[in-house]
């Protein structure tokens, strides 16, 4: 399985989750890493959500909640596999346009 970029986003609204990834039909994802880059000059926080259904993200699907990231810093977070067609990965930022989220991983056919 080759690693590749699976998604990228820069949230424009405060604390509003944005979907960064959903496995394509018949695909599963593994070796997922989210790179979070603070492109602003201010400290802020982020949230990550992973759910196995198509429901909207909430605190019950959070895998990271209000994690601090310093100004101009980069952070990496490993994410568990996603092998359900309804699975979703969402991201949110405390400051609009402050963070860029990039997802790398591999996809394979579900057999």
3-state secondary structure the chain: CCCEEEEEECCCCECCCEEEECCCCCEEEEEEEEEEEECCCCCEEEEEEEECCCCCCCHHHEEEEEEEECCCCEEEEEECCECCCCCEEEEEECCCCCEEEEEEEEEEECC
Domain of residue 73, residue span? 4-109
Q: How confident is the model at residue 31 (pLDDT cuts 50, 70, 90)?
A: confident
The structural domain count of the chain equals 1
Mean pLDDT of the chain: 92
Q: How confident is the model at residue 35 (pLDDT cuts 50, 70, 90)?
A: very high
User: In the prediction, which pLDDT does 82 show?
Assistant: 86
Q: What is the pLDDT of residues 42-75, one digit of tens each?
A: 999 999 999 887 778 999 999 999 999 999 999 9
- Residue 84 scores a pLDDT above 90: no
Q: What is the CATH number of the domain that holds 69?
A: 2.60.120
């Amino acid at each position: 399985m080759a690693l590749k970029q699976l998604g990228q986003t820069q949230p424009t609204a405060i604390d509003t989750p944005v979907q960064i990834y959903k496995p394509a039909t018949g695909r599963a994802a593994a070796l997922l890493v989210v790179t979070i880059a603070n492109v602003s000059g201010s400290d802020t926080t982020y949230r990550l959500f992973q759910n196995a259904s198509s429901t909207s993200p909430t605190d019950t699907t959070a895998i990271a909640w209000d994690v601090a990231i310093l100004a101009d810093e980069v952070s990496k977070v490993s994410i568990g596999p996603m092998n359900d067609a309804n699975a979703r990965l969402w991201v949110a930022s405390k400051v609009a346009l402050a963070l860029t989220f990039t997802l790398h991983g591999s996809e394979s056919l579900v057999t």
